[in-house]
Amino acid sequence: MTWWRKLVVVCALATVVGAAAPARAGYLEDAGWGSLTAITNLGYMPVKLVYSVLGGVTGGIAYGLTLGDLDTASNIWTTSMGGTYVLTPRNLRGEDPIAFAYYPEAKPLASTPPVDDAGWTTAEMPGDSLGGAAVGSSAPSGSKLEEHPAGGF
């Protein structure tokens, strides 16, 4: 073999060895996590399924007792039926969270505030701008509250 062939072989060998992938967990470690996960799921899965079924029944009862309020029932169903049903090795190692009961993200409140029936704040009477009385004070004599009745009161 000539010297340049030896040089090519050495460079190729150095490239292959230098570009080797980082070390990975061994076969026994993977087998250990897999076995632990299977054993843990033998207890976790039946408990989660019972919790989910009981939450479904409870949500149905709540739906009936609230005369069809779907929000109340949906909150119960989402919390009890959502979440993690099967554990993985990543769950057991703490890399992924375990959500036995699912708590969804908080929904933002409506962007517009609720409108009062008569359109005034609770600290004012309808005739306040015309010299009327504020809530909790007595109306002065000759006030014009009669001209601005509170809508429906």
pLDDT digits 0-9 by tens, 35-89: 999 999 999 999 999 999 999 999 999 999 999 999 999 999 999 999 999 999 9
> Structure tokens of 38?
């299977």
Q: Say what the pLDDT of residue 128 is.
A: 47
CA–CA separation, 61 vs 23, rounded Å? 55
pLDDT band at 153 (very low <50, low <70, confident <90, very high): very low
State yes or no: pLDDT of 16 exceeds 70: no
If one counts every other C-beta atom within 10 angstroms of the C-beta of residue 48, the result is 20
Q: Say what the pLDDT of residue 47 is.
A: 96
CA–CA separation, 132 vs 146, rounded Å? 10
Q: Say what the pLDDT of residue 124 is.
A: 54
Residue that wins the pLDDT comparison between 118 and 12? 12
The pLDDT tens digits for 91-131 are: 999 999 999 998 877 766 666 655 555 555 555 545 545 55
State yes or no: pLDDT of 132 exceeds 90: no
Q: Say what the pLDDT of residue 5 is.
A: 73
Q: Say what the pLDDT of residue 18 is.
A: 55
Domain ranges for the chain, please list them: 34-107
Sorted by sequence, the CB contacts under 8 Å of residue 135 that are 6+ apart come out as 122, 123, 124, 125
Reported pTM: 0.53
pLDDT band at 20 (very low <50, low <70, confident <90, very high): low
